[in-house]
Amino acid sequence: MKSLSNLNLVAIILYCSAGIFIGLSVYTFYYAQGASYLSNEPKACVNCHIMREQYDGWQKASHHAVATCNDCHIPHRFIPKYLAKLKNGFWHSKGFTFQDFHEPIRIHPKNRITLQKNCLYCHGEFVSQIAAYPGDNRRMLDCIPCHRNVGHGPTQ
């Protein structure tokens, strides 16, 4: 199973990034109410005003009533879930502190795969005939170009 190698990774990254993460951004974490990052509460994400646009969009989008940020953006299995939160938490804190990220914010390719998988978590059966293969570069049917607005409403 994949979770074995994942576990190794978890261990390594937990140690390394935890160190850097704590050293670098304890303050950010504290001040931006970082603890809430680990919850499922969407408000946790808007603690960074940089997420404001996505938050506002989410409130008006079709999934507002049925899915929160984490349902779409964070893996649903336990270990990858907290691993992802940690990794993303690290990058987001770093980005927020140093203001060195590209704007407008763009989802990272890996997180986009996670997102796809989460679409299938809920809609897997519905789209079973059009098999989606998230993460398989050649065979993947990408949901996002057609359904970009489901999470945050139209951008155009």
Partner 1 sequence: ENVSQRKKEARQHVFRVVEITEDTIDPVIWGKNYPRQYDGYRRTVDEERTRHGGSEAFNKLDEDPYWRVIFNGYAFGIDYREDRGHAYMLSDQDMTERLKVAAQPGACLHCHSSVIPAYREAAIKAGVSADDSHRQEQIMKGFEIVCAMPYQDARNMVSHPVSCIDCHDSETMQLRVTRPGFLNAIQALAKVDYPLPHLPSIERWRKDGRKDEYDVNTMATRQEMRSFVCGQCHVEYYFKGEGKLLVYPWQKGLRVEQIESYYNETSFKDWIHKISGTPVLKAQHPEFEMWSQGIHARSGVACADCHMPYKREGAIKISDHHVRSPLLNIDTACQTCHHFSEAELKARVEVIQDRTKALMIRAEEAVVALIQDLQKAKEFGISGEQLKSAQDLQRKAQWRLDFVAAENSMGFHAPQEAARILAETIDYARQGQLEVMKLQPVTQ
**Residue ranges in contact with partner 1 by CB under 8 A:** 27-28, 31-32, 49, 96-97, 99, 102-104, 106, 125-130, 133, 137-142, 145-149, 154-156
By the 8 A CB rule, do 139 and 133 touch? Answer: yes
Distance CA 126, CA 42 (A): 26
The tokens 């993303």 sit on which residue? 88
Question: Which partner, ligand HEC, partner 1, none, binds residue 80 by CB below 5 to 8 Å per kind?
Answer: none
State yes or no: residue 151 binds ligand HEC (CB under 6 A). yes
Question: Which partner, ligand HEC, partner 1, none, binds residue 37 by CB below 5 to 8 Å per kind?
Answer: ligand HEC
Nearer to ligand HEC, 12 or 147 (CB): 147
**119-128 contact pairs (CB < 8 A, 24+):** 119/72, 119/143, 119/147, 121/71, 121/76, 122/66, 122/67, 122/71
Q: Return the sign of the alpha-carbon dihedral for residues 68, 70, 72, 76.
A: negative
By the 8 A CB rule, do 42 and 33 touch? Answer: no
State yes or no: residue 88 binds ligand HEC (CB under 6 A). yes
Binding residues for ligand HEC, rule: CB under 6 A, are 28, 32, 37, 42, 44-45, 47-48, 50-51, 54-55, 58, 62-63, 66-73, 88, 91-93, 95-96, 101, 105-108, 111-112, 115, 118-123, 126-127, 129-130, 132, 141-148, 150-152, 156
